[in-house]
Amino acid sequence: MGKVIVVTSGKGGVGKTTSSAALGAALAQNGEKVVVVDFDVGLRNLDLVMGAERRVVYDLVNVIQGEAKLTQALIRDKRVETLYLLPASQTRDKDNLTPEGVEKVIAALKNAFDWVICDSPAGIERGATLAMRHADVAIVVTNPEVSSVRDSDRIIGLLDSKTLKAENGERIEKHLLLTRYDAVRAERGDMLKVDDVLEILSIPLLGIIPESMDVLRASNVGAPVTLADGRSAPALAYFEATRRLKGEDLPVTVPGDKRSFLGKIFGRKAA
Amino acid sequence: MTDVLTQPRPIRLKGRSFLALALTPELPFADWLRRLDDLAARSAGFFLRRPVVLDVEGLDIDRAELRELVDQLNARNVRVMGIEGARSSLLGPDMPPAMTDGRPAGDIEAPEGEPAAPAQAARPVADPAPVAAVPVPTTPSLVVSRPVRSGQSIFFPEGDVTIIGSVASGAEIVAGGSIHVYGPLRGRAMAGSTGNAAARIFCRKLEAELIAIDGFYKTADDMEPELRGKPGQVWLEGETIKAATLG
């Protein structure tokens, strides 16, 4: 039985899709069978980030409505053999997702894969609650800014009340993934510091992904950042996050802890 | 023009928030009133001293029917302080005023009636050891051992609320008694909401957006900046909210 992970956030544009693709690719590179499911029906993007946009024939809605078999809709990644994508529909809207349909698809995927990563739409609407409903583990993606943190807090509240695990009286495992972290700006006070975010949200930290041009570059060439350049700073951070996700006890290093003398001067000047 | 007012005292107008029960009648009214009578019979005084708002949203009734319903409720000693969700044509000067913008709170459970005394007396005592069934007056309290997240609301008009964890900005605690937060209090805390001026608010880190006791409130901007982020307690002295650090 595979593990179902939902990648979620309150606010849009924080890096859910990037993180879903990067974590999925990192897990699959170790030979584990991974499927990344795009739940953002109507606004699909995961196929772009994974470089499969021209290979989409059937999508999640087709499978749920019984117009296609699951095996027809799954797209195998060209670079990593064990990585699959289940794309979202661009033309239909989220009302086509039925709770029963989602349940059936997730159950089937759980049987066939080691990891099922659900890329959730942002917010607290139907699409987001359906994506989180069957999850065993939730990854809450947050930027170090107050609006993002508050919306994440709201989402954590929903994870504790609207998931199957919560309804059965269990606690869903939750992790925080802090993305687009810029050490210089955090030091300057333009961004929240890691400790502040952790203190407000009080869930365990899965990783800190530094703000980097490599992420943008990777998504523009259609490759998860962990595949595009495995030695870039964000890729390394995602690899570490993956190891923690698998249960390894790894200390989290805050980017920019050891800053250069020059950086300190600039940091102060701008403040 | 020698008549000078010696004490030019201004008239004080104050905002105050109350918790009201919202009664939602259903058609036909006769059946609904019978069920209400049944509830009232099981718990005398359930409606006593409680402000009641009548929620008639979505009911297809005319003015005479509404008038009749209000009269029926009056006859049962249920004082309606306002009517919510009614078209303005339904209301008149002889009717309770219209209320708008009510915010939903948690449902209040209708109290269970006292077990009928005769039935208890008639029950054969099978157990030889008599069990002392002395009702002990208890102070109900609610303990929440997880963080209260943004958008969540804890509503407990019966007594004290203790939160082991944080209260996030955008979260809300409403308690009939005192509020204790063993963590940062960043959201809103309203203690003594059912008219208890002796209620207090205690927290490990005072960063609240709003604090209120017995309807008197203070927002973050009015709070002393030196208390921010410190462990603190808040209480009511007369009609002013006082706050001090703890420990």
- Read off the pLDDT of residues A179-224 as tens digits, 9 standing for 90 and up: 999 988 888 888 899 999 999 999 999 999 999 999 999 988 999 9
Flag whether residue A196 sits within 8 Å of chain B, measured between CB atoms. no
* Most confident stretch, A128-137, A257-266, B20-29, B121-130: A128-137
- Note whether A40 and A127 are within 8 A (CB): yes
Structure confidence at residue B140 as a pLDDT band (50, 70, 90): confident
Instruction: Mention every residue, 6+ apart, whose C-beta is less than 8 A from residue A209.
Output: A15, A19, A177, A178, A179, A180, A181, A215, A234, A237, A238, A241
Note the Cα B82 to chain centre separation in Å. Answer: 16
Q: Do domains B17-108 and B141-245 have the same CATH topology?
A: no
Q: How far are the Cα atoms of A14, A63, A190 from residue A256, in angstroms, in the given order?
A: 20, 45, 15
Q: Which CATH number fits domain B17-108: 1.25.40.390, 3.90.1170.50, 3.30.420.40, 3.30.70.260?
A: 3.30.70.260
Of the two residues A135 and B127, the one the predictor is more confident about is A135
Q: Look at the domain B141-245 and name its fold.
A: Pectate Lyase C-like (2.160.20)
pLDDT digits (tens, 9 = 90+) for B85-108: 777 777 777 788 887 766 666 566
Find which of B144, B145, B148, B150 to mutate to test the A interface (most A CBs within 10 Å of its CB). B150
| C-beta atoms of B166 and A160 within 8 A | no
Residue given tokens 């009749």 in the structure block: B68
Q: How far apart are CA A103 and CA A16, in angstroms?
A: 22
Q: How far B173 CA lies from chain A's nearest CA (Å)?
A: 15
B151–chain A Cβ distance below 8 A for any pair: yes
**Interchain contact, A157 vs B166, CB within 8 Å:** no
Q: Is the pLDDT of residue B136 over 70?
A: no
What mean pLDDT is predicted for residues A52-66? 91
Q: Is A12 annotated as a binding residue?
A: yes
Question: Is A13 one of the annotated binding-site residues?
Answer: yes
Cβ(A162)–Cβ(A133) under 8 Å?
Answer: yes
Cβ of residue A203 closer than 8 Å to a chain B Cβ: no
Residue B18 has pLDDT above 80, yes or no: no
Q: Is A82 annotated as a binding residue?
A: no
Each domain of chain B, given as residue ranges in start order, spans 17-108, 141-245
Q: How many CB atoms lie within 10 A of CB B226?
A: 8
**Cβ within 8 Å of B, A 113-132:** 124
Between B69 and A244, the more confident residue is A244
The pLDDT value recorded for residue B90 is 75
CB-CB neighbors (< 8 A) of A202 in chain B: 147, 165-166
Q: How many CB pairs under 8 A join A and B?
A: 30
Is any Cβ of chain A less than 8 angstroms from the Cβ of B165? yes
Chain A residues touching B184 at Cβ < 8 A = 199
Pairing of strands B98-99, B80-84: parallel
Identify the closest residue of chain A to B167 by CA–CA distance.
Answer: A200
B184/A154 Cβ within 8 A: no
Q: Does B169 touch chain A (CB under 8 A)?
A: yes
C-beta atoms of B170 and A150 within 8 A: yes
Neighboring chain A residues of B152 at a CB cutoff of 8 Å: 157
Point out the residue among A153, A160, A202 whose CB comes nearest to the CB of B150.
Answer: A153
Asked if residue A122 lies in contact with residue A155, where contact means CB atoms within 8 angstroms, the answer is no
Which domains are seen in chain A, by residue range?
A: 3-248 (3.40.50.300)
Cβ distance B183 to B193 under 8 Å? Answer: no
Least confident of A172-186, A189-203, B53-67, B227-241: B53-67
Residue type, A79: R
A192: contact with B, CB 8 A cutoff = no
pLDDT score recorded for residue B48: 64
Query: H/E element holding A153?
Result: helix A146-159
Test B152 with A150 for CB contact under 8 angstroms.
no
CB A89, CB A37: distance < 8 Å: no
